[in-house]
Amino acid sequence: MATIVEVEGRLDTHEAVCAERYRGIEQQFRASNARLKRIEVGLIAAGGALIGAMGWAINLLIGLVAKL
Helix (H) or strand (E) holding 4: helix 4-67
Task: Give the whole-angstrom CA distance, residue 43 versus residue 20.
Answer: 35
Query: Residue 1: its pLDDT value, please?
Result: 76
- Written as one letter, the residue type at 18 is C
pTM of the model: 0.58
Query: Residue 5: its pLDDT value, please?
Result: 92
Render pLDDT for 5-46 as a digit per residue (tens, 0 to 9): 999 999 999 999 999 999 999 999 999 999 999 999 999 999
CA distances to 13, 19, 23, 40, 63 from 31, rounded to whole Å, are: 27, 18, 12, 14, 48
Render pLDDT for 47-64 as a digit per residue (tens, 0 to 9): 999 999 999 999 999 999
- Written as one letter, the residue type at 8 is E
